[in-house]
């Protein structure tokens, strides 16, 4: 398969591209580098352009004889989406629509979509299953859910085939150590804690330690980016015309903020000062995925589920690249 990866110069996309190549397919990266990194593209074919640029996108789909698209390109900061919903509905939803129409134009009918746990909003019952109510609490989650609705309609009307993967908290890095997480601003817990270990931040904030959880801090489901990437290759193989398959991708196990910090201390040997701060509005105590459907439908078996493995791989990247890709 020739696989076009939108957002392939980003954190997750660069890992998925390597998984696609390792499985014998040919990745083509399509990214406007608004958040991504040229170095992360590696030696793969690269088109530097916006997904909303219909002419360039259609030409890329045709020129590279693309069979399947993996659509990772998006803005992905929930907090920013509350301040600037226009950016999110434009770049995630409207651009998603433009992509589907460019695919129709170029006769490409298979797509794997990067969705998110944020489509669920606040769920009481854990673990979260795909059939649980969809009630996003921020424009980011809503902008992604709109795309899922479009996928359903396009599958039915145009016989296209889709797999929508709802990621939980993606973390870690390729064990080879040459690609990893470099977001600006960084909002994810593990890189923030590791930046304290590197002396780039004074301390890490723990937003609330009075939740109804085992140690009072919030629990999240961390999934290794390489396990997540493998699921994309399986998903691409599982696409069926006229159908939308939706699968959560998580570890099945939650880790608390205290556990993450303790594991980072153990792996790095650094002290890592932490300070308790007030709860953040909209932060649910616990978010853990059921990934039973991904196991059943995609035959997906995550291999790197231990928190220490995830942190060790992330640390290898951050220690080797304290300034990330160094291109900002």
CA 228 – CA 232 distance, rounded (Å)? 7
Local structure of 153: helix, strand or coil: helix
**Nearest to ligand NAD of 62, 183 (CB atom):** 183
What does the alpha-carbon distance between residue 14 and residue 36 come to, in Å, rounded to a whole number? 9
CB of 169 to ligand NAD, least distance (A): 5
Please give the Cα distance from 147 to 98 (Å, whole number).
Answer: 11
- Smallest separation, CB 156 to ligand NAD (Å): 24
The secondary structure element, H or E, covering residue 28 is strand 26-31
Question: Judged by CB, which is closer to ligand NAD: 116, or 217?
Answer: 116
Closest-by-Cβ residue to ligand NAD is: 10
Nearest to 61 by CA among 41, 72, 74, 47: 47
Q: How far is the CB of 269 from ligand NAD (least distance, A)?
A: 26
Distance of CA 186 to the CA centre of its chain: 14
CA distance 288 to 112: 22
Cβ closer to ligand NAD: 38 or 216? 38
Q: 95 or 106: whose CB is closer to ligand NAD?
A: 95
**C-alpha to C-alpha distance for 42 and 144, rounded to whole angstroms:** 28
Dig out the tokens for 18 from the structure: 């390597």
- Residue 84, C-beta contacts closer than 8 angstroms, at least 6 positions apart: none
Interaction site with ligand NAD (CB under 6 A): 6-7, 9-13, 31-36, 50-52, 72-74, 76, 91, 95, 114, 116, 167, 169-170, 183
Task: From 230, 266, 268, select the one nearest 249 (Cα to Cα).
Answer: 230
Residues with active-site annotation: 140
| Residue 271: CB minimum distance to ligand NAD, A | 27
Closest contact distance (angstroms) between CB of 7 and ligand NAD is 3
Q: Which residue, 64 or 216, is less far from ligand NAD as judged by CB?
A: 64
């Amino acid at each position: 398969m020739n696989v076009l990866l939108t957002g392939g110069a980003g954190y997750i996309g660069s890992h998925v591209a390597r998984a696609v190549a390792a499985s014998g397919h040919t990745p083509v990266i399509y990214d406007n580098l608004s958040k991504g990194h040229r170095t992360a593209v590696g030696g793969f074919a690269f088109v530097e352009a916006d997904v909303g640029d219909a002419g360039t996108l259609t030409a890329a789909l045709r020129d590279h004889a693309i069979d399947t698209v993996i659509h990772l390109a998006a803005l992905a900061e929930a907090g920013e989406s509350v301040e600037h919903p226009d950016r999110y509905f434009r770049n995630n939803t409207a651009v998603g629509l433009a992509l589907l129409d460019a695919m129709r134009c170029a006769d490409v009918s298979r797509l794997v979509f990067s969705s998110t746990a944020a489509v669920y909003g606040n769920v009481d019952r854990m673990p979260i299953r795909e059939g649980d109510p969809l009630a996003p609490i921020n424009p980011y989650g809503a902008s992604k859910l709109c795309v899922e609705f479009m996928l359903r309609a396009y599958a039915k009307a145009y016989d296209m085939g889709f797999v929508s993967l709802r990621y939980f908290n993606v973390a870690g890095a390729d064990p080879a150590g040459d690609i990893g997480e470099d977001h600006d601003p960084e909002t994810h817990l593990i890189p923030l804690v590791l930046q304290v270990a590197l002396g780039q931040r004074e301390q890490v904030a723990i937003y609330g330690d009075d939740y109804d959880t085992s140690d009072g801090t919030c629990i999240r489901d961390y999934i290794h980016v390489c396990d997540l990437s493998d699921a994309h290759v399986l998903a691409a193989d599982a696409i069926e015309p006229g159908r939308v398959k939706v699968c959560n991708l998580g570890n099945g196990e939650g880790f608390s903020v205290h556990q993450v910090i303790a594991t980072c201390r153990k792996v790095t040997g650094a002290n890592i000062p932490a300070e308790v701060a007030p709860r953040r509005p909209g932060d649910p105590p616990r978010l853990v995925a059921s990934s039973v459907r991904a196991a059943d439908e995609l035959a997906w078996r995550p291999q790197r589920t231990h928190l220490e493995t995830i942190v060790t791989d992330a640390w290898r990247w951050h220690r080797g690249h304290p300034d990330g890709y160094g291109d900002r």
